[in-house]
Amino acid sequence: MQLGLIGLPMSGKTTAFNALTGANRPTSIAVPGKLDVQLAVVDVPDPRLDALTAMFNPRKKVHAKITFADIGGLAKGISEGGLSGQFRNEIAQMDGFVQVVRVFKDENVPHPEGAIDPQRDIDILDSEFLLTDLVTVENRISRLKEEMSKGKERDKNARELELFEQMRETLETEKPLRSLGLPYEEQRALRGYGFLSIKPRLILLNFGDERPDLASLVSLVEPTTVLGIQARIEAEIAQLDAEEAVLFLEEYQISEPVRERVIREAYNLLHVQTFFTVGEDETRAWPHTIGATAQEAAGVIHTDLQRGFIRAEIVPSDVLLELGGMAEVKQAGKLRLEGKEYIMHDGDVMNVRFNI
Ligand SMILES: Nc1nc2c(ncn2[C@@H]2O[C@H](COP(=O)(O)OP(=O)(O)OP(=O)(O)O)[C@@H](O)[C@H]2O)c(=O)[nH]1
Ligand SMILES: [Mg+2]
């Protein structure tokens, strides 16, 4: 899973990136209009994985991973005629966005628009993305019309044209494509177009050194997921070792580090949940889409397991943790055998029986 940090110049993207990943990138270096991308991979914290690891004492513990991309260079007015190919390609690879919005006041840090106005800043970037998508939609509409006039694949093209005209209308009324709430399958079919406003995004309001107070701002940006952070403070805390970090989080009354909050929201927005595999070799957390069947989930581990899938042995991790071991689970008759159509639940521990 890849989350792109976007935002206007000097909003605190790199500072937030440092807070999220523990990196130590220099701040205020991006040049507006010049793409600058830096990636960092972090472990997804999961207390269930920790508990399972303590139980099985395996050689290896493997967390789910999430990639954060610090994307510098986006700015007002750079998408006339649509964002340039390079920007588009890079940004379109993201599964979702974390949009950093400046709330902090600091005379030493100039704001590209002058005054502080979070709602305006959100709108500016939104309209850059909307414009980029609109260009793509319009190009596709002309292509479709051209093909239809030649009598090619009439039905298929007519259906697609209907969808794209709906998309155009949405964008022209200044709404993002995600507001269409297209079914997952349809979204997947559109992936090749690299639409930006179709991707889930959450908003990270950077309150600077002041305590986040969403109440005063949240109505501006609904119905989006909004989190508040003190980016600079959290970036500094992310440099500390675990024990010291706990002390400072307490001191600043930060109940949960931003990494954990953002990852949890991202899982929700992207409809991702977790299953586990356990054993003496390794315990491991596997992210997968909510609604996946056991067979599809097996494919997350390896395509061979999906192809040769016979059955899955399933036990919820909380049951396993409560009973104290696999032998106990079997003895209590709590190990279920599920077929390929079984819909995975968050926290399932799975062992795939397969044959290839
Ligand atoms: N006072 C204060 N300053 C901050 C905070 N977060 C970021 N800054 C400052 O704002 C400036 C820009 O921060 P960056 O994190 O580089 O912002 P950015 O969005 O990555 O900027 P560009 O990549 O250059 O567009 C730096 O001078 C930071 O020190 C904060 O929480 N409080
Ligand atoms: Mg930056």
HEC-encoded secondary structure of 23-72: CCCCCCCCCCCCCEEEEEEEECCCHHHHHHHHHHCCCEEECCEEEEEEEE
- Closest protein CA for atom 14 of ligand 1: 12
Task: Check residue 221 and give its pLDDT.
Answer: 61
**How far is the centre of ligand 2, averaged over its atoms, from the C-alpha of 206 (Å)?**
14
pLDDT in tens, 46-89: 999 999 999 999 999 999 999 999 999 888 888 887 788 888 88
In this structure, of 141-150, 209-218, 258-267, the range with the lowest mean pLDDT score is: 209-218
Pairing relationship of beta strands 201-206 and 282-289 according to DSSP bridges: unpaired
Residues with CB under 6 A from ligand 1: 7, 9-15, 27-30, 72, 104, 106, 109, 206, 208-209, 230-232
Confidence (pTM)? 0.92
Candidates 8, 24, 27: which one to mutate for ligand 1, based on the most atoms within 8 Å of Cβ? 27
Task: Check residue 83 and give its pLDDT.
Answer: 82
The CA–CA distances, whole Å, from 159 to 135, 141, 146, 171 equal 20, 12, 15, 19
Contacts of 34 (CB under 8 A, 6+ apart): 72, 73
- Closest protein CA for atom 17 of ligand 1: 12
Split at pLDDT 50, 70, 90, the class of 135 is very high
Using the structure block, give the residue that is written with the tokens 């939609």. 137
- Closest protein CA for atom 28 of ligand 1: 27
Task: Check residue 222 and give its pLDDT.
Answer: 58
pLDDT in tens, 296-307: 999 999 999 999
Q: Output the six-digit token pair for 71.
A: 């994307």
pLDDT in tens, 324-345: 999 999 999 999 999 999 999 9
SS3 of residue 349 by DSSP:
strand
Average pLDDT for 174-201: 90
Candidates 5, 8, 14, 37: which one to mutate for ligand 1, based on the most atoms within 8 Å of Cβ? 14
Ligand 1 atom at minimal distance to the Cα of residue 29 = 24
Pairing relationship of beta strands 36-43 and 65-72 according to DSSP bridges: antiparallel
Ligand 1 atom at minimal distance to the Cα of residue 106 = 1
**How far is the centre of ligand 2, averaged over its atoms, from the C-alpha of 68 (Å)?**
13
Q: Which domains are delineated in the chain?
A: 1-44+65-272 (3.40.50.300), 291-354 (3.10.20.30)
Ligand 1 atom at minimal distance to the Cα of residue 18 = 15
- What mean pLDDT value characterizes the chain? 93
Task: Check residue 25 and give its pLDDT.
Answer: 94
The percentage of the chain sitting over the pLDDT mark of 90, rounded to a whole number, equals 80
Contacts of 107 (CB under 8 A, 6+ apart): none
**How far is the centre of ligand 2, averaged over its atoms, from the C-alpha of 177 (Å)?**
27
DSSP string, 294-314: HHHHHHHH-HHHHHTEEEEEE
Say if residue 45 is preceded by a cis peptide, omega within 30 of 0: no
